[in-house]
């Protein structure tokens, strides 16, 4: 196994920038190496304008360990993005936000078009590559947080007190949820006709 060497000069540069500009870079998360990708990466939240784009508040950045490339993953002018997590190879990731990190003018993949977080509650977002940022949750007046992601980038776990499955959490209790990105043409893992008593749980059978 070849030992992984971090570019400590880049880490030092970020630390110095934080001290000089009066901001902070927090919550670093490093990915696994992955296969056929640009190698491991480090995602972090920062309220520094590290790329001189004029943004304020906390944004998500990704640093490629093997290439030294630093790139912002969110472009919400007001910030509000925290707690990033990365898949193996760092091509896919998630974060939590009280802002509007997805372009409200872009066509929604599911559901109505933006704005996607008009009330500014805590939502879970997923990013793919350098340009795609989409909401996983779209809720109002509740909280989605404590998110995690599988190594393959498709499975996401999180906590929520929202009524994500309509009518099944009217009291707003905190519950654990799992979201899995199913590709077109893949069979669903849970058949709609399978009952809860038989150990199946899906929106089709009311779970």
pLDDT by residue (tens digit) across 35-84? 545 678 889 999 888 888 777 889 999 988 888 888 888 888 788 999 99
Contact 90, 62 (CB under 8 A): yes
Helices (H), 51-152: none
Q: Decide if pLDDT at 142 tops 90.
A: yes
Cis peptide before 169 (omega within 30 of 0): no
% of the chain surpassing 90 pLDDT: 31
Task: Say what the pTM is.
Answer: 0.78
Report how far residue 70's alpha carbon sits from residue 48's, in angstroms, rounded to the nearest whole number. 13
Tokens of residue 64, six digits: 């490629």
Q: How far is CA 12 from the centre of its chain?
A: 26
Q: How far is CA 175 from CA 27, 93, 162, 169, in A?
A: 24, 22, 8, 9
CA Rg, the chain, in Å?
19
Per-residue confidence band for 194, with pLDDT thresholds at 50, 70 and 90 = low
Q: Decide if pLDDT at 1 tops 50.
A: no
Report how far residue 149's alpha carbon sits from residue 151's, in angstroms, rounded to the nearest whole number. 7
Q: How far is CA 96 from the centre of its chain?
A: 6
Per-residue confidence band for 195, with pLDDT thresholds at 50, 70 and 90 = low
Helix (H), strand (E) at residue 148 = strand 144-149
- What is the end-to-end Cα distance of the chain in Å, rounded? 45
Report how far residue 8's alpha carbon sits from residue 5's, in angstroms, rounded to the nearest whole number. 9
Report how far residue 53's alpha carbon sits from residue 147's, in angstroms, rounded to the nearest whole number. 28
Q: How far is CA 148 from CA 44, 85, 141, in A?
A: 14, 6, 22
Report how far residue 143's alpha carbon sits from residue 48's, in angstroms, rounded to the nearest whole number. 26
């Amino acid at each position: 196994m070849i030992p992984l060497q971090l570019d400590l000069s880049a880490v030092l540069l970020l630390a110095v920038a934080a001290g000089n500009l009066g901001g902070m870079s927090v919550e670093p998360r490093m990915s696994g190496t992955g296969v056929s990708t640009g190698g491991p990466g480090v995602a972090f939240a920062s309220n520094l304008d590290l790329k001189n784009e004029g943004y304020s508040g906390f944004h998500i950045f990704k640093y490629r360990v093997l290439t030294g490339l630093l790139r912002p993953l969110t472009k919400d002018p007001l910030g509000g993005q925290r707690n990033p997590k990365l898949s193996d190879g760092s091509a896919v990731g998630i974060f939590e936000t009280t802002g509007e990190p997805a372009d409200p003018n872009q066509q929604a993949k599911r559901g109505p078009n933006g704005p996607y977080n008009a009330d500014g509650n805590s939502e879970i977002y997923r990013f793919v590559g350098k340009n795609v940022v989409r909401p996983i949750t779209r809720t109002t007046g509740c909280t989605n947080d404590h998110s995690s992601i599988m190594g393959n980038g498709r499975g996401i776990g999180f906590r929520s007190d929202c009524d994500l499955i309509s009518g099944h959490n009217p009291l707003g209790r905190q519950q654990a949820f799992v979201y899995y990105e199913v590709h077109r043409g893949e069979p669903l893992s849970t058949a709609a006709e399978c009952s809860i008593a038989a150990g199946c749980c899906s929106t089709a059978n009311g779970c």
